[in-house]
Amino acid sequence: MTLLAEGLTKSFPGVRALSGATLSVRPGSVHALLGENGAGKSTLVKILTGVYRPDAGRILLDGAPMRFGSPLEALRAGIGVVHQERNLVPEFTVAENIALQHLPRRFGLVDRARMRAEARRCLDLLDLDLDPDTRVGDLSVAQAQLVEIAKALSVDTRVLLLDEPTASLTGDEADRLYRIVARLTATGHAVVLVSHKLEEVFAVADTVTVLRDGHSVAEAQPLADYTRDQIVDLMVGRAHAAVELGARTVDRGAVPALALTGVSTGHGHRDLDLTVAKGEIVGLYGLVGAGRTELARALLGLDTITAGEVAVHGTPARITSVGQALGEHRIGYVPEDRKGEGLFLEQPIARNVGVTVWRRLSRAGLLPDRAERDLVARYTDLLGIRLASPRQLAGQLSGGNQQKVSLAKWLAADCDILIVDEPTVGIDVRTKAAFHELLAGLAAQGRAILLISSDLPEIVTLADRIAVMADRRIRGTLPNTRAYDEMAQRVIRLVHAPLPQEVR
């Protein structure tokens, strides 16, 4: 079955995720879909699988126009997907998971025999020797991954989309998976592979589409025509309108505000070295899942640090709770998920800003209304947060203003080390630029900022140095020249460099 998606366009409030992207996939081919963070890969995958509806453009299957109202409709049309994150029910058996989308029924009850037979058939397609009655929770990560593929094939799937399928697999397991992919294409399936591991892409894919800024810069080209470097060039060579921010002077001779030496964490980070000086913005770049947020959480005491040393202003620190990070070390964390983790949506703005300082403001356990109001006014003014009234609920603000409120509470708490996680995701361009100026201004006032971002232009605009993280290790730290093309090339090469200790 030939899949053709033409001129797909999709906008979210403030962001145009796709603008006229095209993807054409032939049966029997492994088609690599490549692009940097934010290039539109996930949006494209989600449109093809019926999660999103495109604003414009069309999808043709064997020439017939399709319109998917739901993931189930896409699946019935023959497009299966294995998402990057697991979508299995751990308490169910392998057979139950595979057949979940269309449980065979008899007299209104689940026909377990047919369900098992159906699962067996899908597992056989993959030549997988798994007992259909095993609980999925008892499987290894790799086995669960293969069960997901079996599940994607359980309907008469002709096009299979794999989104970063080897992200959590070892080399051997990945090889096994790709042998299965080869078998599927041999039987006429079309496979679309989204992966950031270029070695794998070159090993298994035959054609390639590269997305950049929401449109295709290479459309269904034979992969053999390209070298690795040419592909990287295609991925990053985006036109870049940089906001020029005044240069900051960073005193590198002084004791760094935050210094990590040989830090390992309970989440799998190994041997990290990283310093952030006063007045410096260090960008921590990496792909989604590289372990950057997890590192931030470990620094805040939400995860354990198993080895190495964290020093705050030169003094070794053992941080075990957010309260301690805030109270003793003045470290603040602006989380990525502002709605879920940054704000109390049902509470007035004033409460959101004041939450970190109530204890300090209180007199004999009572909070003076006046002191809180003054404090809130100071920081809402400073950050340019426009309020209808301080009693307005945080949930009623726009995304950009919500992010500012989420930041304001740490400024109110007088933090001098700020960890800012993906601050401008889902924020419109103009607010984004204003936010960048704000962060640069905060650094200029002497705060140390660790900026976690998957947005390369953002990092190149803001950071003094760029640390690149992949697979829970820091692959290198680069001084930022602020020349976008050059920095982008160097950063992307670090991200895609094979791990030295990973010998195949």
Partner 1 sequence: MTAAETLTAQPVAAPRRGWRRTVRGSEFTLVTIALIGFVALTVATDGNMLTAGTLAAFFRFLAVPMVIGLAQMTVLAIGQMNLSVGVLTGFCAMVSAWLMLAAGWPAVLAVPGALLLGALVGLVNGILVVRTRINAFIVTLATMTIVDGLRYGVNGPRTYQDYSPGLQRLGQASVLGIPVVFIVAVLVAVAVWLFFARTVAGRHLLASGGSPFAARLSGVSNDRSILVAHTVSGLLAGVAAVLTLAQSGSVNATIGDDLLLPSFAAPIIGGVALAGGVVSVLGTSVAAFIVRLVDVTQAQFGINRRWVDLIVGAVVLGAVLVGAVRQRLSRRSS
CB of 165 to partner 1, least distance (A): 30
**Nearer to partner 1 among residue 389 and residue 501 (C-beta):** 389
CB of 431 to partner 1, least distance (A): 17
Q: How many residues bind partner 1 (CB under 8 A)?
A: 40
DSSP secondary structure, 367-433, as one string: PPHHHHHHHHHHHHHHTT---S-TTSBGGGS-HHHHHHHHHHHHHHTT-SEEEEESTTTT--HHHHH
**Nearer to partner 1 among residue 341 and residue 486 (C-beta):** 341
CB of 417 to partner 1, least distance (A): 14
Question: What are the tokens at 411?
Answer: 């400024």
CB of 408 to partner 1, least distance (A): 12
**Nearer to partner 1 among residue 191 and residue 408 (C-beta):** 408
How far, in Å, CA of 391 to CA of 352, rounded? 11
Angle between the 171-186 and 141-152 helix axes, to the nearest 10 degrees?
20
Site string for partner 1, 401-440 (x = CB under 8 A): --------x-------------------------------
**Nearer to partner 1 among residue 333 and residue 484 (C-beta):** 333
- Burial grade of 346 (CB within 10 A; 0-12, 13-18, 19 or more): exposed
By CB under 8 A, what part of segment 71-100 binds partner 1?
none
Binding of residue 108 to partner 1 (CB under 8 A): no
CB of 388 to partner 1, least distance (A): 5
| Backbone phi, psi, residue 194, to 5° | -105, 120
CB-based contacts of 155, cutoff 8 Å, min separation 6? 75, 76, 78, 80, 101, 102
Question: What are the tokens at 276?
Answer: 């952030």
| CA dihedral of 95, 96, 101, 105, whole degrees rounded to 10 | 100
How far, in Å, CA of 27 to CA of 210, rounded? 19
DSSP secondary structure, 324-344, as one string: HHHHTT-EEEE-S-IIIII--
**Which one of 14, 27, 308, 327 is in contact with partner 1 (CB under 8 A)?**
327
CB of 472 to partner 1, least distance (A): 21
**Which one of 60, 243, 288, 322 is in contact with partner 1 (CB under 8 A)?**
322
By CB under 8 A, what part of segment 241-300 binds partner 1?
300
Q: How many CB atoms lie within 10 A of CB 253?
A: 6
How far, in Å, CA of 471 to CA of 286, rounded? 9
**Which one of 140, 321, 445, 481 is in contact with partner 1 (CB under 8 A)?**
321
CB of 406 to partner 1, least distance (A): 9
**Nearer to partner 1 among residue 124 and residue 341 (C-beta):** 341
CB of 341 to partner 1, least distance (A): 4
| Residues 163 and 191 sit within 8 Å (Cβ to Cβ) | no
CB of 481 to partner 1, least distance (A): 34
CB of 322 to partner 1, least distance (A): 5
How far, in Å, CA of 110 to CA of 100, rounded? 11
Three-state DSSP class for residue 239: coil
Query: Which region, judged by CB under 8 A, interacts with partner 1, from 56-64, 199-207, 224-232, 316-324?
Result: 316-324
By CB under 8 A, what part of segment 334-393 binds partner 1?
335, 337, 339-348, 351, 354-356, 358-359, 362, 365-367, 369, 388-389, 391-393
| Residues 456 and 272 sit within 8 Å (Cβ to Cβ) | no
How far, in Å, CA of 394 to CA of 353, rounded? 10
Site string for partner 1, 202-241 (x = CB under 8 A): ----------------------------------------
Question: What are the tokens at 69?
Answer: 């109202």
**Nearer to partner 1 among residue 201 and residue 300 (C-beta):** 300
How far, in Å, CA of 122 to CA of 116, rounded? 10
**Nearer to partner 1 among residue 48 and residue 296 (C-beta):** 296
CB of 323 to partner 1, least distance (A): 4
Query: Which region, judged by CB under 8 A, interacts with partner 1, from 48-56, 232-240, 327-335, 450-458?
Result: 327-335
Residues that bind partner 1 (CB under 8 A): 300, 302, 321-323, 325-327, 333, 335, 337, 339-348, 351, 354-356, 358-359, 362, 365-367, 369, 388-389, 391-393, 395-396, 409
